Amino acid sequence: MSRGISEGEGLTVALFELVHLSGLVMAVYLNLRILIPRYIDQKKYLQYTIMLLAATLLISIMINFIIEVFLPDPPLFKGARRHRINKGIEFFVFMYMMVQFFFVAVTSFLHYIKESARLNEIALRVKDLESSKLQTELDSLKAQINPHFLFNTLNNIYSHSLFKSEQTPEMILKLSGLMNYMIYECQDARVPLSKEIEFIKNFMALEKVRIDESVKISLNITIPENGHEVAPLLFIPLLENAFKYGVNIREGSPYINMDLSVSENDILEMVIENLFDEPIAGQEDVPGGIGLENVRKRLELIYPGKHEMEIVDKDGKFRVNLRIDLR
């Protein structure tokens, strides 16, 4: 060995350091694997402090006992045993506890940095999964609108074509414009409210072609030019419901009224009202149904806690009151 240290003395130095290191490893392992999960993670901070003090004290006493009983002083530390006796064993137990605390603190800090990174990664994954699930559900609900709307409109056009109506080409042209909007401009989560209103106007114009002129249809819009955005095709199921049940009624003068406004504090309010026939006993086809349920679900997903929807069907009148906070 270099510096006049024999091989046996070198082994003694190595054993001396190994014993000290093993005590530190025990303290760190006990802290990370047992004390932190059992006490810190459960927010039992007082119990953690007591157990950590007890553990480091026991380890210090054990390490000091092993050194005093089984290991001679290494050549590099001649006189160390006498120095320990003069200082008192308690002093060296205390100092070794301080060394343990240092290593425990450093490794705990590194552990929590790693754990925080892991939890952040998990949170991001959960958020991505929830976002993906939400988008899938929204796409599914929106996809239900297109076939329903298309089926009804094509059925109307087919009825006109049977009678060789001159309005058939105009209806096909309007349908083409509506489908273009639905396919190419409704892919985003939000669309300009102005475009949605334009779609509503075209939809109502297409419906007017097929219904009797005696049906009174009104659309009142009060919206400031503030570039508001809204979820696409949100109002169509409500309008379809009104035209389906409010046109061919047995009594009264049929009408469909739609009022749409946005206040200065960005609160959208919409009211659709129409007459409807009270259901006959055993009749299942009543206003509402799948279309309104679709709207409810989309509102809950897109505007959670920021919308109110009220449906009133009384005295032969069916009214939907919808309020959405666009902020």
Q: Which of 95, 124, 153 is at the close of a domain? A: 124
> Is 277 domain-assigned?
yes
**Is pLDDT larger for residue 299 or for residue 130?**
299
> Are 52 and 102 spatial neighbours (Cβ–Cβ below 8 Å)?
no
DSSP string, 146-174: HHHHHHHHHHHHHHHHHTT-TTHHHHHHH
What per-residue confidence (pLDDT) applies to 111? 87
Look at residue 280 and tell me whether its pLDDT is greater than 50: no
Q: Does 53 share its domain with 198?
A: no
Measured at the alpha carbon of residue 50, what is the angle toward residues 47 and 55, in degrees to the nearest 5? 120
What per-residue confidence (pLDDT) applies to 281? 46
Least confident piece of the model among 81-90, 156-165, 249-258: 81-90
Locate tokens 């901070």: which residue?
45
> Is 149 domain-assigned?
no
Q: Does 216 share its domain with 98?
A: no
pTM, two decimal places: 0.57
Highest mean pLDDT pick, 93-107, 152-166, 214-228, 253-267:
253-267
Q: Residues 198-204: contacts with CB within 8 Å, 24+ apart?
A: 199/233, 199/236, 200/235, 200/236, 200/239, 200/258, 200/260, 202/174, 202/177, 202/178, 203/178, 203/236, 203/239, 204/239, 204/258
Q: Does 195 share its domain with 295?
A: yes
> Is 12 domain-assigned?
yes
> Is 27 domain-assigned?
yes
What per-residue confidence (pLDDT) applies to 206? 84
Q: Does 111 share its domain with 171?
A: no
- Cα distance between residue 148 and residue 238, in whole Å: 12
What per-residue confidence (pLDDT) applies to 124? 80
Quickly state the pLDDT bin for 165 (edges 50, 70, 90). Answer: confident
Q: In whole numbers, what is the pLDDT of the chain averaged over residues?
A: 80
Q: Does 30 share its domain with 177?
A: no
- CATH number, position 193: 3.30.565.10
The candidate with the shortest Cα–Cα distance to 107, out of 185, 26, 20, is 26
DSSP string, 181-197: HHHHS--SS-EEHHHHH
Look at residue 105 and tell me whether its pLDDT is greater than 70: yes
> Is 146 domain-assigned?
no
What per-residue confidence (pLDDT) applies to 180? 84
- Count: domains in the chain: 2
Look at residue 74 and tell me whether its pLDDT is greater than 60: no
- Nearest-Å Rg of the Cα atoms of the chain is 39
The candidate with the shortest Cα–Cα distance to 189, out of 243, 125, 135, 226, is 135
What is the SS3 string spanning 95-110?
HHHHHHHHHHHHHHHH
The Cβ of residue 160 has, within 10 Å, a number of other Cβ atoms equal to 18
> Is 135 domain-assigned?
no
Q: Which of 124, 149, 184 is at the close of a domain? A: 124
* Stretch 51-62: mean pLDDT: 90
pLDDT digits (tens, 9 = 90+) for 299-327: 998 899 999 999 998 888 899 999 999 98
Highest mean pLDDT pick, 123-137, 141-155, 263-277:
263-277
Q: Does 99 share its domain with 223?
A: no
Greatest CA span in the chain, whole angstroms?
A: 118
Q: Which of 90, 109, 124 is at the close of a domain? A: 124
> Are 274 and 317 spatial neighbours (Cβ–Cβ below 8 Å)?
yes
CA 228 to chain centre: 24
> Is 208 domain-assigned?
yes
| Run of H or E including 279 | none
> Is 258 domain-assigned?
yes
Q: Does 304 share its domain with 180?
A: yes
Question: Which residue range(s) make up the domain with 81?
Answer: 2-124
Highest mean pLDDT pick, 107-121, 134-148, 168-182:
107-121
**Is pLDDT larger for residue 182 or for residue 128?**
182
- Cα distance between residue 1 and residue 8, in whole Å: 9
